[in-house]
Amino acid sequence: MSDDDFSKGTAYVRGAFVPVAKASISPLDWAFTRSDVVYDVVHVSDGAFFRLADHLDRFERSMRARRMKPTESREEMERILHRCVAMSRLNDAYVAMVTLRGLPRIAGSRRPSDCENHFLAYAIAWVDIVPKEVKERGVRLWISSVPRVSDRAVDPTVKNYQWNDLTSGLMEAHDRDFDTAVLCDESGLVTEGPGFNVFIVKDGKVRTSDRGSLQGITRRSVLEFCKALGYEASIEPIPREAIEAADEIFLTSTAGGIVPVVRVNQTILGNDRPGPVFERIKDLYWRNHRESAYRTDVNYAV
């Protein structure tokens, strides 16, 4: 094991820590054949996890919702996340926790309860939802023609690997030379994009979607910071035409934080530059990474 190179990232699989490139699962695992997985992602910035307890809380809720129970306890999972970061010697990292349905204990069984659930984790270098240069100049956002899968079919508050609709929207955006996409539901109400929540600002009021969306931890942070900054903020239905008429738009994600949008379809926002509400919220978001209430220092000694 001492000859292995962990500098590109570390994974925990079936009780062992391995270089992330060597991590694998069975092609018969229902996680692979049925996308039967729940996961969560927390980031490490400047040697500390941001809102780690909140991510673990959401991960536990997702496992309960999908009736998954790996052998590792929450405390063991937390130690594993620390060790994945520590073994990679990463100061800024993208850290995933994943529970897979697994293989049926009884060959040929079609019962989810017959499967042996198992936990996987990994840490790799920091990941952004868009390239750094796009983040700096602002995102060009496409409103996809592909509808978001119904909340009644796939619960978006349970973080999962069902991304077919999101990926189709992303391909449509890239075909038109846009950076990423947001999806609406069948009724034309805004949901989310591939890996991010969407916020709009109109007349100083901040709004985010109440449907088809993960209840993001960064989204929660923004709602809290709006209150601290004196902005009226709400979670409510957002029709497509509202996003096209917004004064500002920004995206929120664990992978990259808070990202400005400067164009939506053919509309240019704020002179093709990030807006003032976004800038104030973004600055407060990063300042709070230093606050003890949100920060969990990585234990590099594990």
Q: Which residues of 97-123 are buried (b: 16+ CB within 10 A; e: fewer)?
A: bbbbbbbbeeeeeeebeebebbbbbbb
Q: Classify residue 159 as exposed, middle or buried by CB count within 10 Å of its CB (0-12, 13-18, 19+).
A: buried
Give CA separation, 96 vs 20, 53, 85, 159, in Å. 12, 14, 11, 12
Residue keyed to tokens 């995933």: 96
- What pLDDT is recorded for position 125? 97
- What pLDDT is recorded for position 2? 58
pLDDT in tens, 155-205: 999 999 999 999 999 999 999 999 999 999 999 999 999 999 999 999 999
Find the helix packing angle between 217-229 and 276-287, rounded to 10°.
110
pLDDT in tens, 109-127: 999 999 999 999 999 999 9
pLDDT band at 302 (very low <50, low <70, confident <90, very high): confident
- What pLDDT is recorded for position 1? 47
pLDDT in tens, 250-268: 999 999 899 999 999 999 9
Average pLDDT, the chain: 96
Per-position DSSP letters for 16-28, written without gaps between them: EEEEGGG----TT
Cα angle at 44 between 165 and 296, to 5 degrees? 125
Tokens of 253: 């994600």
Domains, the chain: 10-125 (3.30.470.10), 132-289 (3.20.10.10)
% of the chain beyond a pLDDT of 70: 99
Determine the average pLDDT of the residues in 238-250: 96
% of the chain beyond a pLDDT of 90: 97
Per-position DSSP letters for the chain, written without gaps between them: -TTS--TT-EEEETTEEEEGGG----TTSHHHHS--EEEEEEEEETTEEESHHHHHHHHHHHHHHTT---SS-HHHHHHHHHHHHHHHT-SSEEEEEEEE---BSSTT---GGGB--EEEEEEEE---SS-HHHHHH-EEEEE-SSPPPPTTTS-TTS-BS--HHHHHHHHHHHHTT-SEEE-B-TTSBB--BTTBEEEEEETTEEEEESSSS---HHHHHHHHHHHHHT--EEEE--BHHHHHT-SEEEEEETTTEEEEEEEETTEEPGGGS--HHHHHHHHHHHHGGGSTTTEEE--TT-
- What pLDDT is recorded for position 68? 98
pLDDT in tens, 76-115: 999 999 999 999 999 999 999 999 999 999 988 999 999 9
Supply the pTM of this predicted model.
0.95
